[in-house]
Structure 1
Amino acid sequence: MTGSIWPRVLSGRGAAGFGWGAVIGTLGGLIGLGGAEFRLPVLVGRFRLPTLEAVILNKATSLVVVAFALLFRADTISFSVLWAHVDIALNLLAGSLVGAWWAAGHAMRLSRRWRDRIILVLLVLLALLMLSHYWLGLGGNGPALLDAGLLRWLAGLAAGLGIGMVAALLGVAGGELLIPTLVLLYGLDIKLAGSLSLAISLPTMIVGFTRYSQSGAFSVLKRESVLFGWLAAGSILGAAIGGLLLGVIPADVLMTALGVILLVSAIKVFQHAH
């Protein structure tokens, strides 16, 4: 019986999900991200999922990948180091949790056309951010944009609000926005920012995921359980491979190439989504 189940599970959508998950996870791992921004166009364009269902499945996969990524990075950046910056995490979470809850609630009420338009704009902006990554000087340890105090706290609150909204609407972890915020606004080292962004992303995604559970589209997790399982497994494997290959490809070349890929795929999929 077992022998007849495995070929069936590994065929079709399961095998395709594992393959795409591995490729996307590797790309994300090479730049220290989960790759969810690349996964969303694939779920809509390749697997033909309705946009809201694709966002929910993307968020579920992102939750699994981020949880594993946080554990994988614990040897490099320990939890005690992250705890030393809990004030920064709480500052951003104060905004991101509200933003994620609000955006997920409104996303469920949007028409398919408007949801596609908003997602297209957000993905294009993320692609442009990736293309401008090195123009922002994210490789070094520069000073914080603002000194600690009320003004920086308010800026962090506003940034967290926007990040939470984007994460909920796209089903992503939000590292593309969190890492630049942590580096520029708070002056953190980029490696520390990468791990702290995962710690902030996890509760933010859980809030958005909980909100989406009230939608009828949430049933996609049961209907597409095989795709979800293999997509998550491939993404975790890919993230590990990407981490091992980190530094093999020049970061500026890689970031530029991935920015172009995201830009083209987002326009191709969501401009013509039905």
Structure 2
Amino acid sequence: MAFGGGGIIGALGGLIGLGGAEFRLPLLIGLFNFAALEAVILNKAMSLVVVASALPFRAATVPFGTIAGNWPAVVNLLAGSLLGAWFGAGWATRLKSETLYKVIAALLVAIAIVLVIGHDATAGQPFLTGNAQMIAGVVAGFVIGIVASLLGVAGGELLIPTLVLLFGADIKLAGSLSLAVSLPTMLVGFTRYSRDQSFSVLGRNKTFLLVMAAGSIVGTFIGGRLLGLVPNGLLLPALAVILLISAVKVWRHR
């Protein structure tokens, strides 16, 4: 189940440009019965695997040179997201499990809404330019960094619409740029989580972690190959429904 779940979620991540953690988190809590904070930490580790492998697997469609050519947008968002990731991880370690379940469920619903509304945007002129764009990018990055750490996610479902709307990137490029922003952001959150005693969940579940990681890498390879073949108009609403169902399950979890 760990390999299969990791593979399916990895394929979604590689296809869209997400870490897939929004779908993995309810699985870790509901099916594998991890406590909220332990699930977030495991989720963060798996998201790192998906993001790190998805970038090269997507390179056939979105070359690294194209990503490098958009470095100002990446740096702009990172300026806020790295700080947000540190603060978000600190808050998560201090929340009670029941509160964290509620926060996770609410964020899953919010992400489902953003996924449907934001990802339908097409590339065009950026919403803001100059200093206003820079300030908005830092603020957006900070908020996304907090959400990413609280859920143990890569934050791509928020980064992609931000890149499309604020910077005018097309949906495929935005997916790869979001991965470039997500990787260092998650590393910062992961470092902060390592200070908490719940971080030991990784050591206690090495086999589970390795099996799910293997499935995730296979999945991101498949997702990268499918990039551009699956229409967003059909895929995104289906993912949003899954998120809403997951939110209900996490909210009711005890």
Give the TM-score normalised by structure 2: 0.94
Residue type at the aligned position of 1:22: G
Separation in structure 1 between the aligned mates of residue 116 and residue 75 of structure 2, nearest angstrom: 29
Amino acid of the structure 2 residue aligned with 1:250? P
Rounded to whole Å, the distance in 2 between the matches of 1:66 and 1:18 is: 17
Greater displacement, 159-168 / 71-80: 71-80
> Secondary structure of 1:74's partner?
coil
Match of 1:189 in 2: 170
Deviation sequence 1:225-264 (CA, Å, 0-9, x none)? 1111111111111122233334554321221111111101
What is the deviation of 1:67?
Answer: 0.8
Question: Is contact 1:95–1:164 with CA below 8 Å preserved after alignment?
Answer: yes
Task: Tell me, yes or no, if the aligned pair for 2:17 and 2:54 is still in contact at 8 Å.
Answer: no
Matched, 1:132 2:112: no
Correspondence for 1:8: none
1:106-144 deviation digits (Å, cap 9, x = unpaired): 11011111111111110111112223245xx42x32110
| Other-structure match for 1:106 | 91
Residues 20-48 of structure 1 deviation map (CA, whole Å, 9 limit, x = unaligned): 11122223334342321100000000000
Which of 154, 158, 166 is the equivalent residue of 1:173? 154
**Number of corresponding residues:** 254
Shift of 1:73: 2.3
1:1-274 correspondence to structure 2 within 5 Å: 16-133=1-118, 137-138=120-121, 140-147=122-129, 149-268=130-249, 270-274=250-254
Where in structure 2 are there 5+ consecutive unaligned residues?
Answer: none
Structure 1 window deviating more from structure 2 (17-26 vs 67-76): it is 67-76
Aligned amino acid, residue 97 of structure 1: L
Q: Matched residues in 2 for 1:248 and 1:200: separation?
A: 24
| Separation in 1, partners of 2:228, 2:73 | 28
Deviations 1:144-186 (A, max 9, x none): 0012x21111100110001101110111111101111111101
Q: Please tell me whether the aligned partners of residues 31 and 255 of structure 1 are also in contact (alpha carbons under 8 angstroms).
A: no
CA distance in 2, matches of 1:77, 1:146: 24
Give the 3 Å change call, closer, same or farther, for CA 249–189 of structure 1 in structure 2.
Answer: closer
* Whole-angstrom CA distance in 1 between matches of 2:74 and 2:12: 26
Bigger mean CA deviation after superposition, 33-42 or 246-255: 246-255
CA 156–253 in structure 1, closer or farther in 2 if over 3 Å, else same = same
Q: C-alpha distance in 2, partners of 1:89/1:154?
A: 13
Cα distance between partner residues in 2 of 1:111 and 1:215: 14
Which segments of 5 or more consecutive residues in structure 1 lack a partner in the other structure?
1-15
Residue 196 of structure 2 aligns with an amino acid whose one-letter code is: S
Q: 1-side partners of 2:34 and 2:154: how far apart?
A: 20
Contact 2:9 2:216 in 1 (8 A): yes
Please, what is the CA RMSD of the aligned residues? Answer: 1.6
Asked if the contact 2:17–2:179 (Cα under 8 Å) also holds between the matched residues in 1, the reply is: no
Q: Which 4+ runs in 1 deviate beyond 6 A?
A: none
Could you tell me which amino acid in structure 1 is paired with residue 103 of structure 2? I
The higher radius of gyration belongs to: 1
- Following TM superposition, by how much is the alpha carbon of 1:57 offset from its aligned partner in structure 2, in angstroms? 0.5
